[in-house]
Amino acid sequence: MRITFLISGGFAGRLQGCRIDTADLPEPERIDVEALVAASGLEGTRELFMPSGRDLRHYGLVIEAEGRCIRLECDERSVPEPVRPLLAALAARCTPQPVSFALPAPAETRQPRDA
């Protein structure tokens, strides 16, 4: 399972993020992260934003596993309750990132690796 997570915006406007391949994690961590993903109930693509939330933190999350892709983009007020533990665990792994750090493009718009 490959996970890309980014946090942007907020009052300070910092960009933080992480990329995780659960295959590279020690087994107890891998089990914990994969359990949080399963418990989140996330499926498909979702965008959840409050109509007025300029200074809110924005979260971007892409989970790629077993040929499927889960994508969530939301602000801090719109995070579904079951997703909060997953985002908290991922936020603990985040480090400052350059402006070029981004979520992977949706699979249908990606260029083949041979191109």
CA atoms within 13 A on the CB side of 3: 26
- Give residue 26's pLDDT: 97
pLDDT in tens, 37-74: 999 999 999 998 878 766 789 999 999 998 899 999 99
Write the DSSP assignment of 6-45 as a string of letters. EEEETTT---EEEEEEGGGS-HHHHHHHHHHHHHHT--SE
Cα gap 89→101, rounded to integer Å: 19
Read off the pTM. Answer: 0.87
CB atoms within 10 A of CB 5: 23
Rounded average pLDDT over 80-105? 95
Tell me the domain boundaries of the chain.
Answer: 2-96
Cα gap 110→11, rounded to integer Å: 33
